[in-house]
Amino acid sequence: MQHHATDDVRDYVDSDTFAKYLETLEKRYLVAIGTDGLRWVLRAKDVHTGETKRDLATVDLSDAIKSVAKGNDIIEGEPAHSTSEIRQFVADEFLPSFAAHSVDEFVSSTFND
C-alpha cells in the first residue's frame, strides 16, 4: 500500500493535530508542509475561525534538481535550465511560501485577502 504524505498533511490540518501547542504559544495559524523532497505542498488553518486553506502553495523542484544533476554530470544530458534560471525559480516560487523567514507572512497574507 502506498502512503501519501500530502494526505497525512491534510489530515493533520483538518483534525487540528498539534494545535494544542498553538494555544500555549499564542499562535493563530496551524501550518503544514508536505514534501517528498522534490514536490512541496503548503496548507494552513486559522485556529481562531477554523477556516482551512488547502494547497496554498505547491512547488515541484524536480526539473530544477534534474538540471543541476545534468549540469554536474551526475546524470546524462543537457540541463534544461541555467543556474541563474534555477536560482530565480527558487527565489520566486519556493522561498516566499516555504522558507522559515517568510512562511509566517505568506500564510497570514492568504487569510487576510
Say how far apart CA 29 and CA 22 lie, in whole Å: 8
**By the 8 A CB rule, do 52 and 13 touch?**
yes
Closest Cα to residue 6, out of 55, 65, 61, 60?
A: 55
Residue 64 is predicted with a pLDDT of 95
77 in the same domain as 31: no
In-domain check, residue 12: yes
Domain assignment of residue 108, yes or no: no
Confidence at 7, pLDDT banded by 50, 70, 90: low
| CA dist., res. 39 & res. 105, Å (int) | 21
| Domain-located, residue 15 | yes
Domain of 23 in residue numbering reads as 1-60
Backbone angles phi, psi at 40, to 5 degrees: -125, 140
Residues 55 and 75 reside in one and the same domain = no
Residue 70 and residue 56 share a domain = no
Q: In terms of pLDDT, which residue wins out, 30 or 97?
A: 97
Q: What percent of the chain has pLDDT over 70?
A: 76
Query: Does residue 113 lie within any of the structural domains?
Result: no
pTM value surpassing 0.85: no
Co-location of 56 and 66 in the same domain: no
72 within some domain: yes
Please state the rounded mean pLDDT for residues 74-90: 92
Q: What is the domain count for the chain?
A: 2
Q: Does residue 54 belong to any structural domain of this protein?
A: yes
Same structural domain for residues 55 and 74? no
Final residue in a domain of this structure, among 43, 60, 77: 60
